[in-house]
Chains A and B, each alone.
Chain A
């Protein structure tokens, strides 16, 4: 089995406390035959031919202070910012999303779940309006993807929210199995049910759910594959 993405150069940043790195390595290998290039947080530059970058889930630096706060000032993040500045593609998953907002590479913040409890369960993601590669590839379907976080309640002020909507930056929203947004379908109290957003140029995606886990029907869902494919399409 070969994949059209097999030669794509994708990196993954390992922070101390990252714990979804192995799952990303497993999913990219199994689904796309891509060997991720591991980048240690103390590095100050990225491999020169890198086409895309993953910030994985976990508890970087123990999530002490605030989730993602210490990782956002680690040595590698300067290089990540440079990569994003040049239009590079980045996907931040769970703790990686928190790192992206703490680094101001995406707007808003991720607060404690409104239940104040860690939540691990399947979420159903609907795709909001927008014109990014992600929106175009993913629209019209519902994606069953697990969440596992204690601080996943997306928040942005009302002006920021308006801007996200107007720019078509909202990508995923927590929906019911019928695709309808209701209070019951919002697991953590996120504003406007937001589960994932993209940057203005559509190249940086931050999402709380874990597409790398939804990588096989055997594991409960294979819907994450399409999301990871869309990431690889943005690398293009």
Chain B
């Protein structure tokens, strides 16, 4: 096979070239627009190619220079993120980031969006989103051990929400369940900002030995390029450029650009890939994700500074008469490109056959740094590899930084004063809901590692019992969380993004773990709108400030722009995924209470709670003029330090960071699952008037903590925090908070009703 390919390559000079596109007439402008290539980009393209391109070449540039693959609008700003730290082993730029947990035990993780496909075809869109992020992690040689997801839908009452919700959840579940990866944590919300553009963000974490981290290079001239996995069909053509598209109301015709997932093929590909890497059978390996064969082959060649010769007649195809253009741009799922030395080809074949995977040699590594692709004896693509990445467009798009000013909203607070506590809490519980309907559909026990699962509605915690960890660390855990409060981000794109990091941090701290690093998935609207671009810049700066303050560098990420329907962009939603190390899972602290306990409230010293971007503002449908809770890094760090000490001395029985809906909803989330209640004080409340303000205001750096015994230590020793005893939680009780009372049965009913969409 190698010989044959070498002969074909040697004869390239006499091979017919595919016709060049016509630059004449109106159809040319349409072609460029369809490929989302601007006039300026086209002239750079022509300079790189040295002539007018062929149609497949135009397709290749379109995919490689799409927002999704090139980060052309965000790259200049992404450089502001902190990416270094002693824990970082592999930072951004690879398929996934890697951090060290203990000894040689490392964790690879990344989060990615699959928003557009999931809106068009929710079941397959969500399923293939999970498949894609799994491959990003296992193609580095890491074995996936946990999935997370963050879902955002339109309002419950929107006519499409029921269909999208049911199918996205089923798609996420069916795929992860079949591959056998537990889904251990996640978030979901329903907001009108997503009525026309839902968000499906999926995250995978995998474990890997530090000395076995694999980076895919196509080195060694004349080595074989091997296609592995499902055959290529016409599904998902132009997925990468679609991901950079905005929606109009009529998008049903785009169904064919959505990929179809086969989790069984993924499971085989996962096992085969890990075996191939373990046995050192390949020198290069790259997932065919967005922009399929195009991006995988160009990336693999680019990293080694080599070229490739590919013969597309050899690609396993699912449909007849597929063109070079289609084969190059298809996003058919569950495929890998491998680069193998001829001496290892036998062993590689044996392994792939055992895992029942289709495979084929489709090309060679070549000298000279050019990509030559033929089909039916015609040279379809002939372009230099390196300039495609090096000279990819970078835009410093004009932006207007958000400049809203904030003030205490006395009108809103007056509305709160008159409202009924029970009614407000009922609405808050309904908005938050009982998520069992979702996570019951996700296998969250498989792997024998889940210590804290999705029922906590906090961070997930996994027991790693790995031989690669330091001696004596048999009980270390991996804590994982994901979060972003879109209302905070809509109110203040900078602080909101920083709060997404802080909230993920608090969820991990509450389990007793130490947060270590971040992956992000930046979901924004149209970057060509200066206001949206300003949100993106502010969001990246907010994440940067938070990650620096909390020592959690960003090691991987994804940008999803053009989340826009009919010209309306979504609220900024910079989703954060965070991982941390738990010192001893036998001391894991749950977020829900399972035993009677004394309840304390930890919060920043002398700080007033806020209603800016609050859940109450959403429930009452008011534009509140207040700022979102102010960032307070000193209080965040002090709280984390104190909680870690309490865990070490076994004193905490439950801990939950104070979230949306303030103390009232946080208490309910902590107490309700196991039918607890009790009588609790509202610190600082003078009378009935400020009851609701105190009960529902939201804070930074705040937790509700549960102890077996009342604390004997002084609560005045904090520098930046204050801590208040609220009362005693008891089984089978209603909740009284300040002067407000609430029936447990009503809460249970409201929570269940919440997801009957």
Mark A residues whose CB is within 8 Å of B. Answer: 16-17, 19-20, 22-23, 26-27, 40, 58-59, 61-64, 117-121, 146, 148, 150, 210, 212-213, 215-216, 218-220
Contacts and interface: CB of A to CB of B under 8 A. Distances in A.
Contact of A219 (B178, B355, B439, B450): B450
B26 to A, nearest CB: 48
A22 B265 CA distance: 19
B463 A19 contact: no
Interface stretch (B123-131, B169-177, B302-310, B551-559): B169-177
B220 to A, nearest CB: 32
23 contacts: A17-B268, A20-B180, A20-B446, A22-B448, A26-B448, A27-B448, A59-B178, A59-B263, A62-B178, A62-B262, A118-B170, A118-B173, A118-B177, A119-B440, A119-B441, A120-B440, A120-B444, A148-B177, A212-B448, A213-B448, A215-B448, A218-B586, A219-B463
Nearest to B177: A118
A218 B267 contact: no
Contacts of A215: 448
Contact of A218 (B179, B356, B445, B463): B463
A218 B264 contact: no
A23 B446 CA distance: 7
A210 B436 CA distance: 20
Nearest 10 pairs of A and B residues by beta carbon: A19-B180, A62-B264, A148-B443, A59-B178, A23-B448, A146-B445, A120-B443, A118-B441, A213-B445, A26-B448
A212 B444 CA distance: 14
A97 B439 CA distance: 24
Interface in B386-441: 436, 439-441
A150 B299 CA distance: 39
Given A62-B262, A218-B451, A219-B448, A121 B355 contact: no
B180 A210 contact: no
Contacts of A19: 178-180, 267, 446
Given A117-B441, A215-B448, A16 B180 contact: no
Given A59-B178, A62-B262, A62-B264, A148 B445 contact: yes
Contacts of A120: 177, 439-445
B447 interface: yes
B446 A17 contact: no
Contact of A148 (B263, B446, B449, B586): B446
Given A16-B355, A17-B264, A58 B180 contact: yes
Contacts of B291: none
Nearest to A221: B445
B585 interface: yes
Interface in B452-476: 463
Contacts, number: 89
A213 B177 contact: no
A189 B443 CA distance: 19
Interface in B139-182: 170, 173-174, 177-180
A218 B585 contact: yes
| B interface, size bucket | 20 to 34
Contacts of B443: 118, 120, 148
Interface of B: 170, 173-174, 177-180, 262-265, 267-268, 354-356, 436, 439-451, 463, 585-586
Contacts of A213: 445-446, 448
Contacts of A220: 445, 450
A27 B355 CA distance: 25
Contacts of A17: 178, 264, 267-268
A210 B448 CA distance: 11
A210 B177 CA distance: 14
B230 to A, nearest CB: 12
Given A120-B443, A150-B177, 13 more contacts: A22-B447, A27-B448, A59-B177, A62-B178, A63-B264, A117-B440, A118-B173, A120-B177, A120-B439, A120-B441, A210-B445, A219-B463, A220-B450
B451 A64 contact: no
A218 B449 CA distance: 9
* Central interface residue in A58, A61, A120, A215, by most chain B CB within 10 Å: A120
A19 to B, nearest CB: 3
Nearest to B270: A19
A150 B586 CA distance: 32
Nearest to A146: B445
A64 B268 CA distance: 14
Given A16-B355, A19-B180, A219-B463, A118 B451 contact: no
A220 B267 CA distance: 27
A228 to B, nearest CB: 13
A173 to B, nearest CB: 21
A16 B356 contact: yes
Contacts of B440: 117-121
B474 to A, nearest CB: 11
A58 B178 CA distance: 7
A73 B585 CA distance: 43
B447 A23 contact: yes
A113 B728 CA distance: 41
Contacts of B446: 19-20, 23, 148, 213
A122 to B, nearest CB: 9
A58 B436 CA distance: 22
A211 to B, nearest CB: 12
A119 B439 CA distance: 9
Contacts of B179: 19
A63 B446 CA distance: 18
Contacts of B448: 22-23, 26-27, 212-213, 215-216, 219
Contacts of A64: 264
A219 B451 CA distance: 5
Contacts of A63: 178, 264
A28 to B, nearest CB: 11
A40 to B, nearest CB: 8
Contacts of B586: 218
Contacts of A216: 448
* Central interface residue in B178, B180, B450, by most chain A CB within 10 Å: B180
* Central interface residue in A27, A117, A215, by most chain B CB within 10 Å: A117
B128 to A, nearest CB: 16
Nearest to A147: B445
Contacts of B268: 16-17
B122 to A, nearest CB: 15
A186 to B, nearest CB: 15
Contacts of B354: 40
A234 to B, nearest CB: 23
Contacts of A121: 436, 440
A183 B256 CA distance: 43
A66 B345 CA distance: 36
B194 to A, nearest CB: 23
B445 A219 contact: yes
Contacts of A119: 440-441
A62 B263 contact: yes
B457 to A, nearest CB: 15
B441 A59 contact: no
Nearest to A42: B354
A146 B440 CA distance: 11
Contacts of A117: 170, 440-441
A58 B449 CA distance: 17
Contacts of B439: 120
Nearest to B585: A218
A121 B440 CA distance: 6
A121 to B, nearest CB: 6
A118 B179 CA distance: 14
B104 to A, nearest CB: 20
A218 B443 CA distance: 18
Contacts of B177: 59, 118, 120, 148, 150
* Central interface residue in B354, B447, B451, by most chain A CB within 10 Å: B447
Contacts of B450: 219-220
* Central interface residue in A17, A63, A210, by most chain B CB within 10 Å: A17
Nearest to B441: A118
Nearest to A187: B440
